[in-house]
Amino acid sequence: MPTTLRVAGGLVSLEGLAGVVTAIVLIVRASTGHDQSAASGVGTAIWFGVLFGGVLAAGIGLLRGKRWGRAIAVIANVLLLPVAWSLLTDSHQPLWGSLLGLVAVAGLAALFAPATSRFMAQDYGEIPGDDERP
C-alpha cells in the first residue's frame, strides 16, 4: 500500500473524527441547555454524526487499503474547500480557514497521487501506458 494512500487515509480519518467530536459536543451542549433550541442542536448533531461518521469510515477504509473510501473522501474534501473559503472571507477566521484549506488540498493531492491511482486500479487490469514505465 503506497504512502500517499496512508496519508490520505489519515487526513480523512482526522476530518471525520473532528466532525464526530463536533456532533458529540453539540449533543452535550443541547442536553445541558446551552443552545437556544435543543431541537436545533440535536438535529445539527445528528447531521454531523451521520455525515462525518461516513467520512471517518472512509478514512479507516483507506487506511486498510479499501477502494470504496476514495470516492467518499474525494467528495468530502471537495465540499470542504468552499467551507475553508467561507472561513477565510465571510467568517473572518483566517487561521481555521487556512488549516482546513491545507488539509483538504493535501487530502485531494494524496488521493489523486499517481501511486494512489495505480494502487486503486491494480485489480482492474493493466493500466494503459503502464508498460512504458520503468
Residue 37 confidence (pLDDT): 59
pTM: 0.83
User: Distance of CA 123 to CAs 6, 37, 67, 74, 114, Å?
Assistant: 18, 50, 10, 20, 15
For 93-121, the three-class secondary structure string (H helix, E strand, C coil) is: CHHHHHHHHHHHHHHHHHHCCHHHHHHHH
Name the pLDDT band for 122 (thresholds 50, 70, 90). Answer: confident
Cα distance between residue 8 and residue 121, in whole Å: 16
- Tell me the pLDDT of the chain averaged across its residues: 88
Name the pLDDT band for 129 (thresholds 50, 70, 90). Answer: low
Within 10 angstroms of residue 51's Cβ, the number of other Cβ atoms is: 16
Over the stretch 83-113, which tens digit does the pLDDT of each residue have?
A: 999 999 988 899 999 999 999 999 999 999 9
36 pLDDT more than 70: no
Q: What is the mean pLDDT of residues 31-35?
A: 73
